[in-house]
Amino acid sequence: MSEEKVLPFIEHLVELRKRLMVIVIAVVIGMGVAWNFSSDLLNFIEKPLTGKTYLTEIKKKAYAQVKQWSPALYDRYKLEQEIKAPEKKHPLNYSAPLEPFFIQCKISMLAGFILVLPIVFHQLWQFIAPGLTRKERRLVVPFITAATVTFCIGAMFFLVVIWPVIINFSLSYEAEGLQSWFNISAYVNFCLRLILVFGLIFELPVLTLLLARFGIVSYAFLAPKRKYALLASAIIAAFHADLITMFVIMVPLYLMYEVSVWVALIFGKKRPVVEPELPAT
């Protein structure tokens, strides 16, 4: 490798180290801020364990309609007992010294990372900015805003919509002689990992928007590859052991690809129309 090629490569590594150091410092500061409300975040993650979620309200309304339309069916399957079933607590447990402390650290770290997302995305932009044109560099504020908002939407979508479904499905296996015993590390680690996964999934349209504006990808390039996107979504989701988690990851991932296709169509870089030359008369 020639010296001319080595020097720019070393400069890129130095620049990357600088950006990573800023990100690490920002995350540590964000972690310190998030530490004060990490207990509230843990309580929010634990909410599905109480059995009272939006699914409970939907079930009650559905059973009320069944009672109105078919009282015999309502009585036959004893749906009233399910509606009036007492709330059952499912406390988290830990079995190792300092385990709750390390869980609090993990929650604070992820919450701190989300708090400083604008700084993280700004540093990423600064790293790639030297390779952009002056016009493309003006997209820094829209990029940071869109990337931060979509990540937060993905995280909240998981916590509010998907997480209760997963926990309720897990609790539905309880029966006489089979009771749940959730370990705090397994429970929280599973949740935090999926928060990151859904946040990154919702970043796909933003990444596509940038690439489309720069002319790297287009609707014509993405649209014919839907079947490969579906296959890739299934493969990525397959890294999770249980079928329910695989399903709730695969569907949003493919839907985000579909959104990305239309983002590329609407906001992609328009190619100049070349008019055919007229024959000389």
Q: Are 244 and 172 in contact (CB under 8 A)?
A: no
Please check whether residue 209 lies inside any domain of the structure: yes
Q: How far is CA 45 from the centre of its chain?
A: 15
pLDDT of 73 = 75
Distances (CA, A) of 75 to 58, 83, 117, 148: 19, 12, 53, 50
Please check whether residue 281 lies inside any domain of the structure: no
Please check whether residue 254 lies inside any domain of the structure: yes
Q: Are 151 and 192 in contact (CB under 8 A)?
A: no
Please check whether residue 40 lies inside any domain of the structure: yes
Q: Are 230 and 279 in contact (CB under 8 A)?
A: no
Q: Are 256 and 201 in contact (CB under 8 A)?
A: yes
For the chain, what percentages of helix, strand and coil (3-state, to nearest 5) are there?
A: 75, 0, 20
C-alpha span between 251 and 240 (Å, rounded): 14
pLDDT beneath 70, residues of the chain: 1-7, 77-87, 240-241, 269-281
Please check whether residue 10 lies inside any domain of the structure: yes
Tell me which amino acid residue 43 is: N
Let me know the angle formed at the C-alpha of 39 by 41 and 245, rounded to the nearest 5 degrees. 40
State the CB neighbour count (10 A cutoff) for residue 174: 12
Cβ-proximal residues to 216 (8 Å cutoff; 6+ apart), any chain = none
Q: What is the pLDDT of residues 70-119, one digit of tens each?
A: 877 777 766 666 666 666 778 899 988 899 999 999 999 999 999 999 99
DSSP 224: G
Whole-model pTM over 0.75: yes
Q: What is the DSSP string of 111-123?
A: HHHHHTHHHHHHH
State the CB neighbour count (10 A cutoff) for residue 269: 13
Please check whether residue 278 lies inside any domain of the structure: no
Question: How many structural domains is the chain composed of?
Answer: 1
C-alpha span between 53 and 50 (Å, rounded): 8
Domain that holds residue 208: 3-172+182-267
DSSP 177: T
Please check whether residue 276 lies inside any domain of the structure: no
C-alpha span between 58 and 133 (Å, rounded): 52
- Distance between start and end Cα atoms, the chain: 57
Torsion sign (Cα): 260, 263, 267, 271: positive
Class of residue 236 by CB neighbours under 10 A (exposed 0-12, middle 13-18, buried 19+) = middle
Q: What are φ and ψ of residue 243, in 5° steps?
A: -65, -40
Nearest CA among 98, 88, 93, 109 for reference residue 38 = 109
Distances (CA, A) of 151 to 29, 41, 106, 227: 20, 17, 18, 25
pLDDT of 139 = 84
Please check whether residue 279 lies inside any domain of the structure: no
C-alpha span between 256 and 237 (Å, rounded): 14
